[in-house]
Amino acid sequence: MTPFVEPRPPSLAQGRAWPTPEEERLKIRDMSLAAESQSKEGDTFYIITQRWWQNWLDYVNQDQLNDGLSPHSLDSADACVSKRPSNIDNKVLIYESTTSDCSAAELHDTLVEGRDYVLLPEEVWNQLYSWYGGGPTLARKVINSGLSQMELAVEVYPLHLELLLKPKGDRSTIRISKKETIRELYRRVCEIFDLDPEQIRIYDFYGQKKHSLPMDLDKTLDDANIQMDQEILVEVNMTNYVKNNDPVGKQSNSFLLEPSKSGLSIAGGLSATKGVSKIGNMDLSQGQNQVSPHRESNNVQESSGVTTRSATAGLTGLLNLGNTCYMNSAIQCLVHTPEFARYFREDYFGEINWQNPMGMVGELALSFGELLRKIWAAGRTPIAPRPFKTKLARFAPQFSGYNQHDSQELLAFLLDGLHEDLNRVKDKPYILSKDANGRPDEEVADEYWANHKARNDSIIVDVCQGQYKSTLVCPVCAKVSVTFDPFMYLSLPLQSTATRPLTVTIFSSDGSLLPNVCTVTIPKQGRCRDLIQALSAVCSLKPHEKLLLAEIQNNLIHRFFEDPLTSLSSIKDEDHLAAYRIPQPAKGIIFLQLIHRLEDKETVNAQSVKGWKPYGTPLVSPISCDDVTTRGDVQSMVRTMLSPLLKHREKYDMSENGILSAVEPSSESSSWTERINDATHGTGKLPLHLVDENNVCIDLSVGEEKPIKISSSSKSLLVFINWSKELLEEYDTSYLESLPEVCKNGLPAKKARTEPLSLYSCLEAFLREEPLVSEPDMWKCPQCKERRQASKKLDLWRLPKVLVIHLKRFSYNRSIKHKLDTFVNFPIYDLDITKYIANKNNSDPQLYELYALINHYGSMGSGHYTAHIKVNLSSFYNIMLLLDENRWYSFDDNHISAIGEDEVKTNAAYVLFYRRKKEDASENI
């Protein structure tokens, strides 16, 4: 039966004139911008096929759009004018259905946002639908997600649950949001099976075992840890059921007490309402055929472009279950870690901690061990790691479903979960760590490590955990605090070599210089201190001066950049920046802001009303709170600030850097004071008005000797100058008018040449002393008893057998996600970390050899993970299996191929696995 398709809206079918492509573009852009700023939980977004969306972008000539249309950026550099798209056609996104109810349409399991579909705000969808019609309509809700439950996300795939009715044995499926309540689940179940709520009891039937749901029916399914494709047991009170549904007693009351057995997977099997035809998964690159995420394939050879060398132990691929390349790559690196391969292939059951509340009562460790043994069993075909994924999702629910995730984040959760399941410590003692208090580092470090081992002792700790020294220094009392903390991996920053030109206008506060426009080049990921340092060099800042950086909006100062560690990514290309040269601030100083206003005549009720509107760029000068300041003093300060703008100066000095410096006029010319007197009708004063702390406007052109009340609690003193026509004849205010954008004319900067980074330089950046910037990171000094922005220094103290290094390629700013594709030159054979060890008593060379790495290709939201692994087997396996020893292989889901050592290093390297070099060959697998 043909799927239901919504018709074109009648209004367009009746011949109403089409809007022009430009009108459509502007309309959708404005709607998207408005929706982005107002998104909240409960909003509705609509799924639309990427193909149709791209056709529409081409039609409206998208290459003229700015970057404002996010989060679904209208980004098509090669767009060209094309014909108007036909009806919206979302049929390719859903399975064929025999129902005309479009709300029941099932999405294909492996769709990827940005490749197969985009998400549109409700207003945007309604507008496009009114123009084009089509369908079906695929609405989804915005929910809170993430570990903090504060991140907004669109729930594209609601929970798919298997309902099992006991004792009758009926089965059904249900789609329901994980943010729905247990009460709503009861209501939906009763509706499906035609039952009364009083007749039933619902259980989480994970692992074919009954787990009670929370008693509070207003708790969400997310709170109850209900996962995708999970079984839900519906128990019926048979007395009430027979009474209400079989009043004549014809049915037997002796139904089977156990549910009927099924070939379906408990938590991740084939849905009864789904087919197996899928849209190509972007994780399967290079012409690979998609495998259904709901097919159990442990014993069946799947069709693929390249078959796995399944006859060789350790070279067994993992099927992609739908965006699970991030998991497959991490698993392959771990199972090819010699210590883990040996441990899980031997009898490790005696070390499982069945009582640890922080683990999974051994389920995660058992599942991982079973998967490892399958991979190392010779002659196996590619494996579908579905049972393991189900166990992992129980321990870390954020990895449930089929969304793309970060491989390093999964690796961290997996190692932690395996550690808790295998922790040899059954009863963890409470140990209060002591501060160093001047004791030798060696003594304190050993004490911390012993305390850690007293609570954490497992194969994961034995192999992967090291220890670093953390030193905090209070900036106020100079208190030094030293602790020694364990680590599982090192996350090294990538110092981006990309640069960004920034244009800033520099103003003087003492009237000595004309405003000067400067463009400097700074690191793209730099901070305000980098910008100020570059500007200081350009304008030849004197030792007793400093620059005060400010953002100007609507002719007013929007904010001062007081924190030198503020990221420059918060400054947009279209912003306007000013820097004010001021004396090094002393105590009791605030800033006088001189705000310019122009006469603005408006007609109200046929009468001309005179008003004033902001104009130009404000000027800034320091003013003392401790000294008595009169109105006349403010007049003198403003005259000084404006003096470079006088039109009739006789001479100027030209400084070496091209800045015009004002010189006092000759005695023959009329002084600037006299000209101002003429311009202000003989009053001798500038038309200044001050707004005090009570928001009262004070005229500073009268009462010259009257003092001004300045509150030390105020940050600024606002003074307005009204520029009359007469006053404008005396001053050239054009210097204040054209404040350029940060990136002039919005032109993109030339792409910077990217220099290769050394892994050692990344390690040095990680160990460099840095201040704690954000408020949550601030340290409570035990001596001051106050939260301080302390400086923090890390040093490596104890290194593990296996050193995992994470290269921080991803960064987040507001809603923008950015990936660095910088090439990092990392050693394969001799990573020497000896000189970075702070423990000088350890004289042994710390040499490591690379044996595995995880790669990430593409962008953040639609990338692909693979692994490169050096298979290094013992001579026994080498003889039995005739396997090349010390050879690199590429693990790309179920595709495995040999690669040369020269192919290992790429700019896709994301997580590196190093193993300490040993002379003893018995360390091999």
User: Cβ of 544: how many Cβ atoms within 10 Å?
Assistant: 7
Pair type for strands 757-758 and 824-825: parallel
Q: State the catalytic residue, choosing from 325, 474, 539, 743.
A: 325
- Residue 318: phi and psi, rounded to 5, are -120, 125
**Inter-axis angle of helices 386-395 and 363-375, nearest 10:** 150
Assign 3-class secondary structure to 719-786: EEEEECHHHHCCECCHHHHCCCCCCHHHCCCCCCCCCCEEHHHHHHHHHCCEECCCHHHCEECCCCCC
Residues written for the chain: 925
| 409 within 8 A of 346, measured Cβ to Cβ | no
DSSP state of 451: H
Q: In whole angstroms, what separates CA 126 from the centre of its chain?
A: 29
Task: Please confirm, yes or no, whether 325 is among the known catalytic residues.
Answer: yes
User: Cβ of 806: how many Cβ atoms within 10 Å?
Assistant: 20
Distance (Å, whole) CA 174 – CA 162:
7
| 176 within 8 A of 159, measured Cβ to Cβ | yes
Task: Please confirm, yes or no, whether 864 is among the known catalytic residues.
Answer: yes
The DSSP secondary structure of 387-432, one letter per residue, reads HHHHHHHHHSGGG-SS----HHHHHHHHHHHHHHHT-S-SSPPP-P
The enclosing H or E element of 487 equals strand 480-487
- For tokens 């025999």, the residue is 98
Distance (Å, whole) CA 131 – CA 10:
10
| 680 within 8 A of 686, measured Cβ to Cβ | yes
The DSSP secondary structure of 77-133, one letter per residue, reads TT----PPP-SEE-GGGB---S---GGGPPBPTT--BTTTEEEEEHHHHHHHHHHH-
Please give the C-alpha separations between residue 471 and each of 424, 441, 446, 767, in angstroms, as whole numbers.
31, 11, 16, 11
- State the first-to-last Cα distance of the chain, in angstroms, to the nearest integer: 56
- Residue 904: phi and psi, rounded to 5, are -75, -40
| 638 within 8 A of 719, measured Cβ to Cβ | yes
Q: Which amino acid is at 792?
A: K
The DSSP secondary structure of 353-398, one letter per residue, reads -TT-TTTTTTHHHHHHHHHHHHHTSTTPPPB--HHHHHHHHHHSGG
The enclosing H or E element of 315 equals none
458 burial level (CB within 10 Å; 0-12, 13-18, 19+): buried
Q: State the catalytic residue, choosing from 160, 864, 868, 895.
A: 864
Two structure tokens written together for 702: 């009268």
| 294 within 8 A of 276, measured Cβ to Cβ | yes
| 25 within 8 A of 33, measured Cβ to Cβ | no
The DSSP secondary structure of 507-555, one letter per residue, reads EESSS-B--EEEEEEEETT-BHHHHHHHHHHHTT--TTEEEEEEEEETT
- For tokens 């190093």, the residue is 914
- Residue 400: phi and psi, rounded to 5, are -75, 165
Q: Which residues are catalytic?
A: 325, 864
